[in-house]
Copies of this chain bind each other. A is one copy, B any other.
């Protein structure tokens, strides 16, 4: 027996004990109910995807963070025999990195999906990132997406669903920052940055809230964008923050006008729904992922560095899996960030967990009789644990206290003869002989 085995989960991974699980479930039940109220239907995709599905969708940084599965048996033997140069020779499958690319694959694979496929998906994803506060290597995403339409009603609906989830969880002060990739592209072009450097510029810009202007200028410079152009871009973004700037751009006929008008329309569409008061134009919002094409979103909550989720329109991603392009828009909520803030702000209600009643028996009582009584009470809806051994009652009560159960039911020969349970309220200390049929009511009262 080796005593050297670590009993901790691997770096960036977590065990969820009972309290954690019920908190996660509390949030996920609300997410699911709200998503379904918007008419979304569930989808689940496998943990393991072919690398051909995953690679080239998230940009080079994303590809680096993919978990790859090692070849097995003959495949591994052949690879080792031929001589291995890189990971490419050793793996053909990887772990799900987000829920959007699997959705795109699914839309391309099944021809019986609705024209407008409104799906939600709540599953973990894996990224071999450096662990940090609120950043894990295994974490849950809660996505809603609508495929098949370019109509901004769809964009408004995914924003509405996310806003409604946050409201029902108890958040009041969140913002849904919104921007438009076409508007950004226009500003980048206007600053004199050539089209082939556009995505580098957006990736740098995406870090603005983390590294401030200086950090962005540094990265732009390192990527070969001249300071004059970099400064020009940041200045034009500053101008877009001024009151009325978006409106003026809508009225103009510059290259950013189409994006600006779409944003204006989106705000108008969302105005009667739950995202109203929360949607906020932010000209500096860029989003890191390369597949976005239209409106982009990010959830901002006071006191949380980084976002609680994000999304946007990606009209070309599904076309990477099939001949025909299919427009799509989606929004992803990050469960771990939601839990982090809700825990800090004590936003959880009391959540029921564990048995409501512990049945204990005296040594003279046969365990099978106690198990039969437990069966009856369980059938009546009670969560009942049975103490396995007929040890001293004091010891059984100590255990009851250690698991935080509220009631103990003691069974001795007298109770069995009388058809009652000696029901002890561990909070008040009161003990009464309770008829079997009254036990559930009394414990629940």
Contact = CB atoms under 8 A, between A and B. Distances in A.
Given A53-B5, A272-B369, A138 B17 contact: no
A279 to B, nearest CB: 13
Interface string A189-215: 000000000000000000000000000
B151 A37 contact: no
A388 B80 CA distance: 54
A243 interface: no
A405 to B, nearest CB: 8
Contacts of A320: 1-2, 5
Given A84-B80, A160-B371, A368-B269, A9 B402 contact: no
Nearest to A359: B39
Interface in A1-30: 1-10, 13-18, 20-22, 24-25
How big is the A interface, by class? 35 or more
Contact of A153 (B87, B375, B386): B386
Interface in A34-85: 36-39, 41-50, 52-53, 64, 67-70, 72-73, 76, 80, 84-85
Contacts of A269: 367-368, 371
Copies of this protein, total: 2
A43 B16 contact: yes
Nearest to A73: B64
A412 interface: no
Contacts of A24: 44
Interface stretch (A109-117, A297-305, A417-425): A109-117
B47 A15 contact: no
Contacts of A90: 70, 90
A84 B84 contact: yes
A39 B389 contact: no
A355 interface: yes
Contacts of A10: 46, 48-50, 93
A371 B402 contact: no
A164 B87 contact: no
Nearest to A66: B72
Nearest to A356: B39
Interface in A126-149: 126, 128, 137-138, 146, 149
A174 interface: no
Contacts of A6: 50, 52-53
B154 A399 contact: no
Contact of A67 (B9, B53, B69): B69
B93 A402 contact: no
Given A38-B385, A69-B67, A90-B70, A13 B272 contact: no
A10 B45 CA distance: 11
Identify the interface centre among A36, A42, A367, A369: most chain B CB within 10 Å of its CB: A42
Contacts of A137: 48
Interface string A361-376: 0000001110110110
Contacts of A22: 42
A271 interface: yes
A48 B8 CA distance: 12
Contacts of A8: 109
A378 interface: yes
A109 B375 CA distance: 33
B46 A14 contact: yes
A124 interface: yes
